[in-house]
Structure 1
Amino acid sequence: MYRSFLGGLGTLPLIKHGKSRAISWENPRGEKGKAGMAVSKLGPSRKGAPFILNMAAGSVVTLAEIEGGGIINHILMTVIDRTKKDDYVLQDLVLRMYWDGEDTPSVETPLGDFFCCGFGRESRVNSIPVVVNPARSMHCYFPMPFKKKAKITLENQHKEEIPVVAYQVDYVLTDALPKDIEYFHAQWRRERMTEKQKDYTILSGVKGKGHYVGTYMALTALGRYWWGEGEIKFYLDGDDKYPTICGTGTEDYFGGAWSFASQCDGRTVENTYCTPFMGYPYYSHHDRSVHNFYHNDDTLPQRGFYRWHIMDPVLFEEDLRVTIQQIGACHKGNYERQDDVSSVAYWYQAEPHNPFAPLMKKEDRWPR
């Protein structure tokens, strides 16, 4: 029964069990027969309220509040990425999601990072669960089930109002969810400078049963030479000093090899790419800020990666911790290094979940 409303090519001919609904600013409750009713200068039901206008600084808007059981199958969002005073709108907007009336969010992350757009910059992403098209048309296809209630909010921590916030939440109402359903979670973290010989923690404090489904990582290199020899580690169900799963290197984990490099006209070129389950969509060492007072193009190298564990989920029964090493390589061999790393971990687990650590204040989330 559960497969019948999750979608996918294999289920297209099956009878679907549920009621299709969509929430937008024109129909904030997703009510049947009440979409597109707002009046514009063109008349009734002529694009009268397609988006939020002038979201005030410091405000929190409820994007969706759904009563009953169901599953969110698609979220669309698009916003500007800068205002007259600042460039970091995508990191100053905070996305939160709550399931079944919980007090603490199961999802808490800057808006851009949730959609694999770190550093406050848009990035084109072409993957299965996350898609970002020009310009900042951000889509999420992770299924998000709930039994009693779903709530999605957006907080504007930017210093100015956001002129336009457009969104749509597509979901199915159904009472056919199984009793042992797992809930979607996502958490953002950052270390502005990692510690030598101490692995960066992508996720910790997870208790209960579930499976890990993805990583987004935004890395700013703070030193020269190759930075990507660090191995990812999954500590499962009581693992202490050593993990059950350990990868072979950062570029391997995110789907690349040999420093992502190829030769072009005698030069070594670092290649970006997007694939269904892994990608390296963003690389920049240029200051794109329109507010660079001194006009210095001196940004440190910035790289953004994603890896989806959809075909190879990491299952846990009791607890989960995920870390990645900061190890580089140069002409002298491998060495321990320190970089600026932030990440979003995506996973499913049975509720309740442990509350997240407080989110960094917006100034500490900004890129270098």
Structure 2
Amino acid sequence: MKYVFLCWLTLCTTYSALAQRLPGFDGLDMNLSTLSRLSNAKTRSISPENFTGERGKGGMADPVKQKGQRNVANAANEARDLGQGWKVNPFIIVEKGETVTIAEMEGPGAIQQIWMTPTGNWRYSILRFYWDDEKEPSVEVPVGDFFGMAWNEYALLNSLAVTVNPGSAFNCYWKMPFRKRCKITLENQNPDESMRLYYQINYTLTAIGEDEAYFHAQFRRSNPTKGSLHTILDGVQGKGQYVGTFMAVGTRNNGWWGEGEIKFFMDGDQQFPTISGTGTEDYFCGSYNFENKKTHQYEAFSTPYAGLHQVIRPDGLYKSQQAFGMYRWHIMDPVRFEKELKVNIQDLGWRSGGRYYPQQSDIATVAYWYQREPHARFPKLPSRDELEVPR
């Protein structure tokens, strides 16, 4: 224990010393060892109570003057006895088929934390982030998958980059710098119901260094996998670093499903990759089937950098198959590439005679990475029917 503490203390001290020597450090990269340092950065926050994030403009909705106006005083009735300044518009309504802009901010600056509680079908709610003046999004992901909740069911997730807390509270701590401006939209593709959305986007206005890259996240689904292979990411062009994977697996057969290896093809790799994993549970920092050897059950876990946080078991009725959610954040070990990157994972189980079984699972992933702009155009997002989780 003493050794672990000393290692942690050394890491914090080293990080603090490095941060003090970094040119342009302005309070953007914070940890416990740097929180006492003052900076010229300005803190701002966007929510339904302050759509613009402007200084001194929060909580201004009037339940009397704005009653009946959509997304301006949604809690006017509840606040009718208290008046302005008393939780008049804490949420917005996103109607069926509607896309709303939930945040716009002028840079330079960086998003530091996002919290939201979306209702409805999380796979039908699409988040898109646009940096500076780009026309195509750098983030295009169903909100559930972005926060590790692919199966539209809550599961506790406790990591450094993403947390999902009781009450289905979605939190993101990925740093997202921008130089000119940022726009975030949310599309409700659900044909059956509107969405109620509480949210808060906390950001800072500060100088952004030349070496700062832009955050990207891309969703892909293979249902079923073709050739027992799922592509996590492909077509990335430019210089950057891969920082995380979320993967949801829906099985279609009995037995262990996670023998497949992950492969990182970078900077000219052709038939063989530079980085090859040794198995699915190995990549997600587990071992031997994620199995508790005493109970002979899958054992869910959630740690700062990796986890199998969701295990959905058959219930004897409509949930006839197992489903899983897992994540691996490359925070301490980003996968750096100079020119290009492709990532895929094999879909393998076991069959008779101790042989690998090429499976046809339902696999959905989100890839998280940073790179210089411009980025290659994303593949077209699957249709609503192709996104659907029929559970």
TM-score under structure 1 length normalisation: 0.92
- The offset of 1:331, in angstroms, is 5.1
Are 2:230 and 2:346, in contact at CA under 8 Å, matched by a contact in 1?
Answer: yes
One-letter amino acid of the structure 2 residue matched with residue 75 of structure 1: I
Instruction: Name 2:177's counterpart in structure 1.
Output: 145
Establish whether residue 227 from structure 1 lines up as the match of residue 267 from structure 2.
no
Is the partner of 1:204 in helix, strand or coil? Answer: strand
Establish whether residue 181 from structure 1 lines up as the match of residue 202 from structure 2.
no
2:377 to 344, 347, 355: 355
Establish whether residue 43 from structure 1 lines up as the match of residue 43 from structure 2.
no
Mapping of residues 113-124 of structure 1, within 5 Å: 113-124=145-156
Instruction: Name 1:279's counterpart in structure 2.
Output: 307
- The offset of 1:261, in angstroms, is 0.9
Deviations 1:104-134 (A, max 9, x none): 0000010000000012222211000100001
Instruction: Name 2:286's counterpart in structure 1.
Output: 256
1:243 to 259, 273, 283: 273
Q: Which runs of 4+ in 1 moved over 4 A?
A: none
- The offset of 1:335, in angstroms, is 2.6
- The offset of 1:163, in angstroms, is 4.6
1:58 to 97, 100, 106: 97
- Partners of 1:194 and 1:212 lie apart in 2 by 23
Instruction: Name 1:308's counterpart in structure 2.
Output: 329
Instruction: Name 2:157's counterpart in structure 1.
Output: 125
Are 1:144 and 1:183, in contact at CA under 8 Å, matched by a contact in 2?
Answer: yes
One-letter amino acid of the structure 1 residue matched with residue 142 of structure 2: P
Is the partner of 2:317 in helix, strand or coil? Answer: coil
One-letter amino acid of the structure 2 residue matched with residue 210 of structure 1: G
Q: Any unmatched runs of 5+ in structure 2?
A: 1-23, 63-78
Instruction: Name 1:203's counterpart in structure 2.
Output: 233
Instruction: Name 1:72's counterpart in structure 2.
Output: 111
Q: Any unmatched runs of 5+ in structure 1?
A: 82-88, 288-294
- The offset of 1:18, in angstroms, is 1.2
The 1:350–1:222 alpha-carbon spacing in structure 2 relative to 1, beyond 3 Å, is same
One-letter amino acid of the structure 1 residue matched with residue 91 of structure 2: F
Deviations 1:170-206 (A, max 9, x none): 00011x211232000000000101123x531100010
Establish whether residue 329 from structure 1 lines up as the match of residue 359 from structure 2.
no
RMSD: 1.5
Are 1:119 and 1:366, in contact at CA under 8 Å, matched by a contact in 2?
Answer: no
TM-score under structure 2 length normalisation: 0.86
Establish whether residue 7 from structure 1 lines up as the match of residue 46 from structure 2.
no
- The offset of 1:10, in angstroms, is 2.6
Is the partner of 2:33 in helix, strand or coil? Answer: helix
Is the partner of 1:364 in helix, strand or coil? Answer: helix
Are 1:5 and 1:17, in contact at CA under 8 Å, matched by a contact in 2?
Answer: no
1:191 to 216, 222, 232: 222
Are 2:44 and 2:204, in contact at CA under 8 Å, matched by a contact in 1?
Answer: yes
Moved more, 330-339 or 238-247: 330-339
The 1:347–1:79 alpha-carbon spacing in structure 2 relative to 1, beyond 3 Å, is same
Aligned length: 349
- Partners of 2:320 and 2:26 lie apart in 1 by 47
Instruction: Name 1:86's counterpart in structure 2.
Output: none
- Partners of 1:163 and 1:275 lie apart in 2 by 31
Are 1:226 and 1:330, in contact at CA under 8 Å, matched by a contact in 2?
Answer: no
Are 1:28 and 1:63, in contact at CA under 8 Å, matched by a contact in 2?
Answer: yes
Establish whether residue 23 from structure 1 lines up as the match of residue 53 from structure 2.
no
- The offset of 1:330, in angstroms, is 4.4
Are 1:279 and 1:305, in contact at CA under 8 Å, matched by a contact in 2?
Answer: yes
- Partners of 1:272 and 1:346 lie apart in 2 by 22
Moved more, 329-338 or 12-21: 329-338
Higher relative contact order (CA 8 A, sep 6+): 1
Sequence identity percentage:
46
- Partners of 1:300 and 1:277 lie apart in 2 by 27
Is the partner of 1:113 in helix, strand or coil? Answer: helix
Instruction: Name 1:101's counterpart in structure 2.
Output: 133
- The offset of 1:80, in angstroms, is 2.0
- The offset of 1:136, in angstroms, is 1.1
Are 2:147 and 2:172, in contact at CA under 8 Å, matched by a contact in 1?
Answer: yes
Question: Max radius of gyration: which structure?
Answer: 2
- Partners of 1:298 and 1:33 lie apart in 2 by 50
* Greater strand fraction, Structure 1 or Structure 2: 1
